[in-house]
């Protein structure tokens, strides 16, 4: 069965520092992968998605993610974090039933 | 384009009471989802509709939860009777069709069961 693991529950970075949020998936075929962000009291907003093709995917707000089949990973990165990036980040995979299965999330804190 | 609308935004009830949540998806979106997000966890799918038909309700606790989408547009999720463990945020999402189209999420309804 498909699954997604986000090993980091909480990450703290300084404003202006680089960021990498980890996501590992388990899926038999080529996965369809997503990163969503959830700000306090808000719904989930799509940052980026990977279906096929170029393994480096660009998203909104300066985020990018790289699909690495050999490592079963789809890590999210940003070269310079802004205070407004503080939020909860979720990795998700499309299941065989064409639904989304979400990881448990990583909470990002940005310190000035 | 208007996003997914949900109401109410917050609800506090006592256990064994009933509660209903409403969702209005993006216009033209055939597929609608209800998710439950317990604090500290990722959203978990409860039910998926395609137009007014149920596609997947395997994770819906049918002894207490029910959902409908009578005219293929708005949807209502009901809990009767509520338990303490139902405290969560209930998210509605929609997308144009099925497959891998992007899901768009509403702001959610935060339910507290006392």
Chain A closest-CA separation from residue B56 CA (Å): 8
Neighbour tally for A99: CB within 10 Å: 21
Is residue A39 within 8 angstroms of chain B, CB to CB? no
Domain range list for chain B: 5-107
Look at A98-107, B78-87, B95-104 and tell me which has the smallest mean pLDDT: B95-104
Please name the residues in contact with A42: beta carbons below 8 A apart, sequence gap of 6 or more.
Answer: B107
d(CA A17, CA B13): 43
Q: For every residue of chain A, which 3-state class applies, written as one string?
A: CCEEECCCCEEEEECCCCEEECCEEECCCCCCEEEEEECCCCCEEEEEEECCCCCEEECHHHCEEEEEHHHCEEEEEECCCCHHHCEEEEEEEECCCCCEEECCCEEEEEEC
Domain range list for chain A: 3-111
CATH domain A3-111 topology: Immunoglobulin-like (2.60.40)
Share of chain A above pLDDT 90, in %: 79
Whether residues A43 and B106 touch (CB distance < 8 A) is answered with yes
The mean of the pLDDT values for chain A is: 93
* The pLDDT of residue B72: 84
At B50-65, the pLDDT tens digits run 988 999 999 999 999 9
* The pLDDT of residue B1: 65
Whether residues A103 and B44 touch (CB distance < 8 A) is answered with no
CATH, domain B5-107, list 2.60.40.10, 1.10.3720.10, 3.30.70.890, 3.40.50.300: 2.60.40.10
Is residue A18 within 8 angstroms of chain B, CB to CB? no
Average pLDDT over residues A50-74: 94
**Residue B8, pLDDT above cutoff 70:** yes
Tell me the backbone φ, ψ of residue A84, rounded to 5 degrees. -75, -5
Dmax (CA) of chain A: 43
- All residues of chain A having their beta carbon less than 8 Å from the beta carbon of residue B56 are 97, 99
Chain B closest-CA separation from residue A71 CA (Å): 23
């Amino acid at each position: 069965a498909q699954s997604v693991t986000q090993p980091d529950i909480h990450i703290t970075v300084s404003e202006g520092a680089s960021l990498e949020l980890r996501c590992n998936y388990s899926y038999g075929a080529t996965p369809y992968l997503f990163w969503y962000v959830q700000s306090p009291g808000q719904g989930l907003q799509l940052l980026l998605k990977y279906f096929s093709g170029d393994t480096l995917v660009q998203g909104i707000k300066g985020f990018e993610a790289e699909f690495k089949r050999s490592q079963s990973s789809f890590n999210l990165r940003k070269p310079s974090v802004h205070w407004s990036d503080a939020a909860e980040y979720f990795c998700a995979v499309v299941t065989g039933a064409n639904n989304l299965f979400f990881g448990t999330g990583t909470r990002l804190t940005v310190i000035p | 384009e208007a996003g997914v609308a949900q109401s109410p935004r917050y609800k506090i009830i006592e256990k064994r009471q009933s509660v209903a949540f409403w969702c209005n998806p993006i216009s033209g979106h055939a597929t609608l989802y209800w998710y439950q997000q317990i604090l500290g966890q990722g959203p978990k799918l409860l039910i998926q509709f395609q137009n007014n038909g149920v596609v997947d309700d395997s994770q819906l606790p049918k002894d207490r939860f029910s959902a409908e989408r009578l005219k293929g547009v708005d949807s209502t999720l009901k809990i009767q009777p509520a338990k303490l463990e139902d405290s969560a945020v209930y998210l509605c999402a929609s997308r144009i069709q099925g497959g891998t189209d992007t899901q768009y999420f509403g702001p959610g309804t935060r339910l507290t069961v006392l």
